[in-house]
Amino acid sequence: MTTLMGMSLPNPVLDLAAEVVPEAEDRGRLAFAYAHGPLLAGFGDDAEVELVCVWDHETVPEDAPTAASHITIAEFDRRVHVVTTGQGWDPADAEPLTTVAQFAYGVLLSDDEGAGTRVRGVVSDFPQALCEISAKTLMQDRDSVPDRFTATDDPWQRAVILIQALYNGYVAWYAANGHYYAGAQRRTEYADHFGLEQEVPRLERVIWDNLAGQDASAAYVAFAERILSDC
């Protein structure tokens, strides 16, 4: 596999590539394949490595390798386009942003026609729209979340409010620093990997520590204001 030559990759990635890529290429119409996971950034577990095959076909082949995830190039391109317009990160349907983040931080394993390299060029030009829209959402949260906290003293309800607000905050924080947010898992490790200050995760912990008390609103505002100072 010439696409692996010259690259130093963790053994679990190489093993998965050896298992999946030749079989996928034999099926024909494989646009490109890539691996992603925190192990590629120097942390994480072997089990977090995933390989994705992107198919230049209307549907994924029925006999596609079971050790990988699969998506058509039309759907992949749709997700990329959605994110470049500043959308695709609502928690109810964050798949576009998650896909783009995983691809951006992953490694191409097969790309015979250059389709993967083309998309890599698109996502490497970080979308200003994502910065602007996520910052606007965070500003709205900064003004509304304290009132929503005040309206209930139920820790469960406050946690529901906070999880949404934290997600919005992290999307804005990563975007303000030119990075795609891949989700809550490994958020602090990725922040450290990208050289971001650990002040934001520290402020998050302060909110959780005070969630049931009167200081929850002030703690959240401090979290939001710190991120907005980067936007």
Are 47 and 9 within one domain? yes
Task: Point out the domain boundary residue: 108, 124, 140.
Answer: 124
Per the structure, the complete domain to which residue 223 belongs is given by 128-228
Answer yes or no: are the C-beta atoms of 77 and 87 closer than 8 Å: no
Answer yes or no: are the C-beta atoms of 35 and 109 closer than 8 Å: yes
- Pairwise CA distance, residues 217 & 17, whole Å: 48
Are 29 and 118 within one domain? yes
pLDDT tens, residue by residue, 94-108: 999 999 999 999 999
CA end-to-end distance (rounded Å), the chain: 42
| pTM of the complete model | 0.93
Are 105 and 19 within one domain? yes
Residue range 13-32: average pLDDT? Answer: 93
Are 171 and 217 within one domain? yes
Task: Point out the domain boundary residue: 60, 90, 124.
Answer: 124
Domain count, the chain: 2
Answer yes or no: are the C-beta atoms of 227 and 172 closer than 8 Å: yes
Q: Has residue 3 got a pLDDT over 50? A: no
Are 6 and 119 within one domain? yes
Percent of the chain with pLDDT over 70: 97
CATH number at residue 28: 3.30.460.10
Spell out the SS3 assignment of 45-97.
Answer: CHHHCEEEEEECCCCCCCCCCCCCEEEEHHHHHHHHHHHHCCCCCCHHHCHHH
Q: Has residue 189 got a pLDDT over 70? A: yes
Q: Given this model, what pLDDT does residue 7 score?
A: 61
pLDDT tens, residue by residue, 42-56: 888 888 999 999 999
From residue 188, give the alpha-carbon distance in Å to each of 177, 182, 204: 14, 11, 11
Q: Has residue 10 got a pLDDT over 90? A: no
